[in-house]
Structure 1
Amino acid sequence: MIFPATLVDLAGFIALLLWGTHMVQTGVQRAFGPRLKTILGHAMANRGRAFLAGLGVTTLLQSSTATGLMVTGFAAGGLVALVPALSAMLGANVGSTLIVQVLSLDIAALSPALILVGVLMFRRDSSTQTHDLGRVLIGLGLMLLALHQLIDLMHDYDDAPSLRLLMGSIVTLPLLAVLIGAGLTWAAHSSVAVVLLVMSMAANGVVPPNAAFALVLGANLGTAINPLLEGATAGDPTARRVPLGNLLTRLAGIAVALAALGPIGRFMVTLQPDDALAVAYFHTLFNLSTAVLFFPLLGPLARLLCRLLPDQKAPADPSRPLYLDPAAKETPIVALGGAARETLRLADALEAMLAGARDGLRSGDRRLIAETRRGDDVLDRLNLAIRAYLTSIDTEELGPHDLRRMEEILAFAMNIEQAGDIIDRQLLPHASKRAKRGLSIPREQEDELIALMDRLIGNLRTAASLFMTEDPRAARLLADEKVAFRDAEARATRLNVTRLRAGPQLAMQANALYLDLLRDMKQINSHIVAAAAYPVLERSGALLTSRVAGAGR
């Protein structure tokens, strides 16, 4: 073989291994992701259950990074304590070794059968879950095929002088091997793939056992570095506690393992003469030993992390996103959850604008009205950040349920932002006009305006709750609120016509202003209803295509 051609083959088989790993992860996430997230959240009551939950979820997801993102989100949101979160990460690290143990067995002959069955399941349109499980089987088949081809390819070059020279330098410098393993894992975003690659190299004698063990230590380091680096841009320091704690435990374990690499290497070779299996056993033993060592020390570690990364004070800039974690985009179910939490902040910002508009209407305070208008800038920036975040997610990794949820988040954010535009550009200028011109609205009409503003705030809170629960009954109640604002506008229109016929000019201006304010509120309410109620009603078949009689039949 020509060396450049072989290099292309090597890169291609490594890419195939990475792609197979990716297919397994995305398939499991699509099939079981939301349920796994719920199970993980409920199981983290104490460190023992959290350890088992982290182990089990990671075994299914085949990604300790995905589990770590879920755990980090729970801990940052205050849903679980830091100690169970750190315990779940210890379990996740052990869980990531189980697939390596399975793939270390001589089951390459199963690759064609797995791919065949996977394709048949993948092409079935009747069941989404069957489709996703087919993706998992295809991914496993591709991983086995890639490993088999890598072993055959490296067998032809295990005596290459240049390769031997490079491996010789790694043998004499175990720290260099750790750094190489960490770099490969950081680039590949998969410790499983790198460990499997090291196993194939060890099986052909390309790397001696101790160098292979050092590369595995590097793979464990690389998979802990990734979440911390990608979460470095997170505004809340509490979101970095779990990945930092996981990195510290890995660093401590790697330091001990490097110091005793000679005796450990001799023990592993004696325990398992097969070099490839010895690498797999070392990978599992390292993570088990680290978990046993740090399990009783999680309390002091949690206190240290809290001192290093103290709770952040209330953010000075309300338009800065808090939950759009860049690292979570690799795990769509986590990314969508963060986007949904951020979208609820839009509802909070709009409620603050409505409350300011209500108080401004009542008091005529033009300074308060001006301050309230600045809330629209918060809505615009948050909405832009949410849209940019969601559109950067790879839609090919999203199942039908996830795609629908993404569309609902975008629709909710857009309608809430447009409701804020109406407050900023129409309702508040009308309120300011009233204060500037000294227009006096009759007490009865003013009370009605204030009551409708309170009703808008109540509808907005219902919409925010409905956005999370998706309850069809609440959706119907919210949609029915349009009737109240429609009736109020009709009454005001009739009254305005009556006063146009007879009445002082100032009274007619005040009544026209009253009608403008009602129409502004009706438009705001329409956007609130469209943000949360319409998607639920449309999905349940309870939304008509038109209000015109006979339309849509």
Structure 2
Amino acid sequence: MFTIIGTLLGGIGLFLLGMILLTEGLTALAGDRLRTTLGRLTGSRLKAVLSGAAITALVQSSHATTLATIGFVSAGLLSLSQAIGVVIGANLGTTSTGWLVSLLGLKLSIGSLLLPLVGVGVLLRLLGRGRLASAGIALAGFGVLFVGLDLLQGGMGGLAERIDLSRFGAATLGARFMLLLVGLVMTLLMQSSSAALAITLTALATGTLSLEQAGAMVIGQNLGSTFTAALAAIGATVAAKRTALIHILFNIGAGTLAFFILPLLIWLADWLTGDGLGDHQALTLAAFHTLFNLLGAALFLPFTAQLAALAERLLPEPRPALTRHLDASMQVVPSLAVEAAHGTLRQCAQVVLQNAAARLRNEEAGFVVANLDEARDAAEVVARYLARLPEAEGEVLNRLNACLHLLDHVRQSAHEALKIRWQPEVEAIIPLSQHARELASLLLNAAQALTDHRQEEEIEPALQALRGHNQDIRLSILQASATRRRAMEATLEGLTLARSCERLSYHGERCLFYLQGLAGEDKIPPGSLVEAGPDPLADEETA
């Protein structure tokens, strides 16, 4: 028993180590090209399902597809909606094992085939550089992962073989449920639903089980395969955990439906297979396995958006809302990290502009989801996040430069907005109050444009024009003070507020400029998103 427990723990440890290496390798290999390729393969629900099914049928393991999908989601290469289609396709693709066993009498296991990948991956990591070294990490992780699964299967296979299948001979619902549990436990022990399916097919062929009994066990084995996804989500990002949760929900839903209409599905599978090649009963069981997964796909695929929303509610993001996209695993890939920072700064700019507009109107910003302090803190997190990036070059360097400019203007906007204070004497300065309200209206329009991800080309020149009127407002305040029509305290407060308005209009306009440049699909020419000159407000402190 000690040997079995030691083997089990070692297998789990190797599995988790392989998952960590696989995720790190995929993240390091990720880039715009890989992201574009994945986007094409999973661009629609049908494409995602077909891709998942094809990959699983090719490698003969839904584990491989599911784990790779979780790795891609963890690395930020696949969205949750795209991953749902791949996971559903993986469940369809894994049914090909039953057809191969039934028709050819073969059982393919990729664990031993992938063992050489560990050695090849380590050599690439030691001898290669850049992407080659990253590919080595991913290959080694993929191999170690399945070595761990094989170790689990070898350590626990003896226990699975001791299960007395003949004990559950009755065709009642209770006996059917017990057989479902037996199938589930077999998969948990062997860590391979395909291996458990092969044992079930053998039992069916020798007459140990009836078709309905074997069908109940197959449902349990399908449910047991979710344990691997749950294990892979340990220590992963929230997005990866949501992918694993959806995999579990799909298998439970499809399995529950198949359990209650089992006789009908068995009859339909028997009718479809007829007197085909190979063992007829085994073919019927393979067809049953395919049918209930197809039924589950047909029911779940139209509701991928709802599934994603459910997963997000069940597994909420623990980090602050503004910085939830700053995944540390993406920092090894500057292109992905810059995009994450860009998205975060867009939200920060939106919050800052909304709060600034409310302060300019002397109102409470009750409609804002976050306050200025949160936006300012998030901007500081972005600064530390970008500071840890490796050296960038080419297009990524241009986008990083633009992102840093954007970061500076967001921080400066928050700083100026925090300085806005309305005193009764200042509110009485009519030109300044009107100017502040006009600026507030433009900033609100800009914030709404950012929320809707649309470009408002009129806002930037309007902010520039409004800034041009600031000098006249300051002169009118000074003249009123010089002719003793306004108290000195009100004059100084008014000049401070006018200065803040001028700086807010400038930094707000530059925020829009960089956000629109970063959001464009075309490549950013070198130097196109940099300041045309020094800050025009930098030397006006004593003006």
Q: Normalised by the size of structure 1, how large is the TM-score?
A: 0.54
Name the counterpart of 2:121.
118
Name the counterpart of 2:89.
91
Query: Of residues 247, 250, 254 in structure 2, which corresponds to 1:249?
Result: 254
Distance 1:386 1:421, change over 3 A: closer
Name the counterpart of 1:292.
294
Distance 1:26 1:456, change over 3 A: same
Name the counterpart of 2:494.
514
Q: How many Å separate the matches in 1 of 2:93 and 2:448? A: 41
Query: Of residues 108, 111, 117 in structure 1, which corresponds to 2:112?
Result: 108
Q: Which runs of 5+ in 1 are unaligned?
A: 186-191, 235-239, 313-318, 361-368, 549-553
1:62–1:96 Cα contact (<8 Å) kept: no
Q: How many Å separate the matches in 1 of 2:35 and 2:392? A: 18
Distance 1:293 1:420, change over 3 A: same
Name the counterpart of 2:175.
none
2:69–2:86 Cα contact (<8 Å) kept: no
Q: Report the Cα offset of residue 418 of structure 1.
A: 7.6
Distance 1:286 1:137, change over 3 A: farther
User: CA offsets, 1:413-446, max 9 Å, x none?
Assistant: 99758845753x421x22xx1xx23654363x55
Task: Please tell me the residue identity of whatever aligns with 1:518.
Answer: A
1:387–1:410 Cα contact (<8 Å) kept: no
Task: Please tell me the residue identity of whatever aligns with 2:145.
Answer: M
1:13–1:149 Cα contact (<8 Å) kept: yes
1:346–1:382 Cα contact (<8 Å) kept: yes
Query: Of residues 132, 141, 144 in structure 1, which corresponds to 2:134?
Result: 132
User: CA offsets, 1:132-187, max 9 Å, x none?
Assistant: 322221123323543555566568xx3xxxx48974499753233355478x59xx
Name the counterpart of 2:29.
31
1:325–1:335 Cα contact (<8 Å) kept: no
Name the counterpart of 2:364.
371
Q: How many Å separate the matches in 2 of 1:93 and 1:399? A: 41
Deviates more, 1:140-149 or 1:114-123: 140-149
Name the counterpart of 2:61.
none
2:477–2:491 Cα contact (<8 Å) kept: yes
Q: Report the Cα offset of residue 519 of structure 1.
A: 2.8
Q: Whose helix proportion is higher, 1 or 2?
A: 1
Q: How many Å separate the matches in 2 of 1:134 and 1:26? A: 11
Distance 1:12 1:49, change over 3 A: closer
Q: Report the Cα offset of residue 52 of structure 1.
A: 1.9
1:118–1:138 Cα contact (<8 Å) kept: yes
Name the counterpart of 1:176.
181
Distance 1:374 1:538, change over 3 A: same
2:223–2:251 Cα contact (<8 Å) kept: no
Distance 1:44 1:126, change over 3 A: closer
Task: Please tell me the residue identity of whatever aligns with 2:501.
Answer: M
1:40–1:54 Cα contact (<8 Å) kept: no
Query: Of residues 208, 222, 235 in structure 2, which corresponds to 1:217?
Result: 222
Q: How many Å separate the matches in 2 of 1:461 and 1:40? A: 31
Q: How many Å separate the matches in 2 of 1:21 and 1:416? A: 38
User: CA offsets, 1:295-326, max 9 Å, x none?
Assistant: 55569x759979x98xx9xxxxxx99599699
Q: Report the Cα offset of residue 374 of structure 1.
A: 8.0
Q: How many Å separate the matches in 2 of 1:304 and 1:530? A: 32
SS at match of 1:513: helix
1:195–1:216 Cα contact (<8 Å) kept: yes
Q: How many Å separate the matches in 2 of 1:103 and 1:382? A: 56
Task: Please tell me the residue identity of whatever aligns with 1:111.
Answer: L
Task: Please tell me the residue identity of whatever aligns with 1:17.
Answer: F
1:21–1:193 Cα contact (<8 Å) kept: no
1:124–1:131 Cα contact (<8 Å) kept: yes
2:111–2:150 Cα contact (<8 Å) kept: no
SS at match of 2:419: helix
Q: How many Å separate the matches in 2 of 1:324 and 1:380? A: 17
Q: How many Å separate the matches in 2 of 1:399 and 1:133? A: 19
Matched pairs, number:
463
Q: Report the Cα offset of residue 516 of structure 1.
A: 1.2
Q: How many Å separate the matches in 2 of 1:498 and 1:527? A: 28
Distance 1:533 1:283, change over 3 A: farther
Q: Report the Cα offset of residue 498 of structure 1.
A: 7.0
Q: How many Å separate the matches in 1 of 2:391 and 2:181? A: 41
Q: How many Å separate the matches in 2 of 1:171 and 1:24? A: 42
1:324–1:335 Cα contact (<8 Å) kept: no
Q: Report the Cα offset of residue 224 of structure 1.
A: 8.3
Deviates more, 1:526-535 or 1:287-296: 526-535
Q: How many Å separate the matches in 1 of 2:355 and 2:404? A: 21
Deviates more, 1:91-100 or 1:138-147: 91-100
Query: Of residues 10, 16, 23 in structure 1, which corresponds to 2:14?
Result: 16
Name the counterpart of 1:4.
2
SS at match of 1:371: coil
Distance 1:339 1:291, change over 3 A: farther
Q: How many Å separate the matches in 2 of 1:298 and 1:465? A: 29
SS at match of 1:372: coil
SS at match of 2:483: coil
Q: How many Å separate the matches in 2 of 1:459 and 1:259? A: 59
Name the counterpart of 1:437.
425
Distance 1:241 1:7, change over 3 A: closer
2:125–2:137 Cα contact (<8 Å) kept: yes
Distance 1:110 1:36, change over 3 A: closer
Q: Report the Cα offset of residue 16 of structure 1.
A: 0.7
Q: How many Å separate the matches in 1 of 2:228 and 2:154? A: 27
Task: Please tell me the residue identity of whatever aligns with 2:429.
Answer: I
Distance 1:97 1:134, change over 3 A: farther
Distance 1:499 1:385, change over 3 A: closer
Q: How many Å separate the matches in 1 of 2:304 and 2:143? A: 44
SS at match of 1:506: coil
Distance 1:222 1:107, change over 3 A: closer
2:111–2:146 Cα contact (<8 Å) kept: yes
1:503 correspondence with 2:483: yes
1:41–1:74 Cα contact (<8 Å) kept: no
Q: Report the Cα offset of residue 12 of structure 1.
A: 0.9
Task: Please tell me the residue identity of whatever aligns with 2:124.
Answer: M
Q: Which runs of 5+ in 2 are unaligned?
A: 57-63, 101-105, 169-177, 240-244, 314-318, 536-543
